[in-house]
Chains A and B, each alone.
Chain A
Amino acid sequence: MANEKVDVVIVGAGASGSVYASVLAKAGKKVVLLEAGPDWQLTDLISSEMWGRRIRPAGAPFRLEGKNPFGYAGQAGWGVGGAALHYFANHPRFLPNDYKMKSEHNRGLDWPISYSDVAPFYDRVARDIGMAGDAKAEEIWRPAGDPYPMPPMKTFRHGEVWLKGFESLGIRMVPAPVAMNSTDYKGRPACIYDGWCHVGCPTGALANPVVTYLGEARKANAEVRALCTATRVLTNQQGTRVTGVEYYDEKKQRQVQEAGVVVLAAWSGQNSRLLLNSTTDKHPKGLANANELVGKYMMVHSIAGIAAMFDEDIQNHLGTIGAQYMSYDRYGKTSYKGAFGSTYITCGAAQKTHDFANSRPDLFGPELHAYMKRAARGFTRISMFGEELPSMENRIELISDKDEFGLPLARLVHSFDQDAVALWTANVEEGQKAAKAAGAKEAWSGRVIPTTHLHGGTIMGTGAADSVVDSYGQCHELANLYVAGPSIFPTEGASNPTYTILAISLRGAEQLAAKWSTVAG
């Protein structure tokens, strides 16, 4: 069944897809977003760990393999807003050194753009969606930019207790930049610090796509088709242009949406899987994959999570799931001897009962209950995000198992290399020193390296020989096919990715709108 042709069809109504939809709909384009999950309303976002699982994917489109398998379902999204419906809204930007790793260290890859190309978009995104923080304080690490539109968020004892420890190590902590409202902003209320951000913020205080770019897109008449699963990107007979997207609707009926431009803005793994599944006689290895780079260079952050117990009531239930304080003082790629990569340091996330239980997975029975009672009073933790280098070995590839529509599932193979393990180990050691110096009664870390924030698979670069898309997300191979989101990052820095996702999506979407007739034909 064919639908009326539109200007652009966007696969995925998450962070990046919402930006594209907003920019293009406001430019007068007819926009359709295909979203695999439901069209969540704010009133669906029940404050409960269990009910919050509904906004994560169910099922297993990816087989998770390698020495350090990626925690897929907890990270990805399902439904409008995507993963950014349940993200922690930490919004650190990438620093200048992230864009020039190859040039400066002869390791990894360079981005085809510099920090200065993205900086204006960081400032605009902050104004668009509302951010709280202290930009001036961050300027000890980065070039000056605009101030954030709101002052920093309130702080609480469970974040403040860490400051002495970091200070003793020479690590400067400043207010964390977050996409949350410290004051009322653009008709959305200020945060009330109840700490349920990770299951979806229903008040609108947290800048998820539903209340920001997606809301704007809808006002500009973008159409969201929920419970519609994209299965293939379609091309013309010559294989020179994409013509639309095949998908299955809510009733599991096959549909085709033709469009002048296709934007793939699904989760990083799904973007690759879609391209690999879109084979034709002209594209036997999948679309945009003549160079066999689709699905390659998958990257994740490690988390050195240091748990600590303090002998006082630090009121860990208060605040937000975002950080209270952050530091770039270990962001230099060679901050630790024997390791390579940036580290982003955070502290002060609110804690829930599942966090307590997960922090001591070895305990059960009466010992667990005794621990839960202590944790309710004195538990807190820090998270130190570590970068890994891009590697061809970390990849998405199709497998013989099929999904309900008969399309191959994929496996995501991921292992940390020696540098990444050394960085995580160094971060754990430093974090434990910070806990001790902060006066924690106990401090510990797990032995398994946690993973978060998937990037890569369709990386950007200067040409078809070394990358899938250009710096705007436009495919080298097919001019009217764009890819958006962290899948186009060629390196991952150590900062939480969403701020950079939004900034480069805004840059890409505006470029597309500006040269629309050239691209759409």
Chain B
Amino acid sequence: MHDIKRRAFMRGAALGALAFTVGGVEVLITPGEARAQGVPFRLLKANEGETIEALGETLVPGARKAGIAHFIDHQISVPAEEALLQARIFNVRPPFANFYRAAVGAIDRGSEKVFGRKFAQLSSVEQAELVNQMRQNKIEGWTGPPAAFVYTLLRTDAVDVVYGTMEGYAALGIPYQAHIEPEKRW
């Protein structure tokens, strides 16, 4: 009981949510909610968002619905020191948008080389095959950030939105046990 009381005391003591603009008003919603509400991207182009969603879904099922593209779009639009991206841990040099644009371009070029179409247009079997080759740096003529690094970083982004949230923990049956809960179960 003592512990539960302490957790309750700490709850809500800080803000931990992402601000998206909906109808001209800033609201605190999750990336998944932003996607569901059709919130426009800040920096990503539509085709870049499609590629990221398709890759994210291939890497971690559920990443598309969880809003991986909106998450990345939001995070590359804020100052690097405010970003929650694994890119900062992997020592990517800001602005992080440069990396993601280069990565998306590399994925689509690699996809066209191997299958003749952009990544989002591939079947799920083809997408998995390409990702498996990316993971092992096996795509010949790949240009841009190293394929295995793109795999690793985007995989972490997908893990973030699917398994890194309070909902993700709940889906795996793991008690989250926050000292301070993120807002919006984020």
Binding site for B on A (CB under 8 A): 37, 43-51, 53-54, 56-60, 62, 64, 71-74, 78, 189, 192, 194-196, 201-203, 317, 353-354, 356-357, 361-362, 364-366, 368-369, 372-373, 376
User: Considering only CB atoms, which chain B residue lies closest to A70 in the complex?
Assistant: B91
A47 touches B178 (CB 8 A): yes
A362 touches B164 (CB 8 A): no
Set of chain B residues within 8 Å of A56, measured between Cβ atoms: 88-89
Picked from A60, A71, A365, the residue with its CB within 8 Å of the CB of B128 is: A365
Binding site for A on B (CB under 8 A): 3, 6-7, 10, 13-14, 16, 58-61, 80-86, 88-94, 128, 131-132, 135, 151-152, 155-156, 159-160, 163-164, 168-169, 172-182, 186
Set of chain B residues within 8 Å of A73, measured between Cβ atoms: 88-91
B179 touches A194 (CB 8 A): yes
Set of chain A residues within 8 Å of B80, measured between Cβ atoms: 58-59
Picked from B90, B174, B181, the residue with its CB within 8 Å of the CB of A47 is: B181
Picked from A51, A353, A376, the residue with its CB within 8 Å of the CB of B84 is: A51
B89 touches A47 (CB 8 A): no
B183 to chain A, nearest CB (A): 9
User: Considering only CB atoms, which chain B residue lies closest to A79 in the complex?
Assistant: B81
Can you report 10 A-B residue pairs in the complex whose CB atoms are below 8 A from each other? A47-B176, A47-B180, A50-B84, A53-B84, A64-B91, A202-B179, A353-B174, A364-B135, A372-B163, A376-B172
B89 touches A74 (CB 8 A): yes
B126 to chain A, nearest CB (A): 13
Set of chain B residues within 8 Å of A192, measured between Cβ atoms: 3, 6-7, 179
> How far apart are the CA atoms of A357 and B154 in the complex, in Å?
13
Picked from B61, B178, B186, the residue with its CB within 8 Å of the CB of A194 is: B178
Set of chain A residues within 8 Å of B13, measured between Cβ atoms: 43, 202
A187 to chain B, nearest CB (A): 15
User: Considering only CB atoms, which chain A residue lies closest to B59 in the complex?
Assistant: A364
> How far apart are the CA atoms of A362 and B93 in the complex, in Å?
25
Set of chain B residues within 8 Å of A369, measured between Cβ atoms: 60-61
B60 to chain A, nearest CB (A): 6
Sorted nearest first, the 5 A-B pairs with minimum C-beta distance are A47-B178, A60-B93, A194-B177, A353-B163, A58-B80
Set of chain B residues within 8 Å of A354, measured between Cβ atoms: 156, 159, 163-164
Set of chain B residues within 8 Å of A201, measured between Cβ atoms: 179
B172 touches A372 (CB 8 A): yes
B163 touches A46 (CB 8 A): no
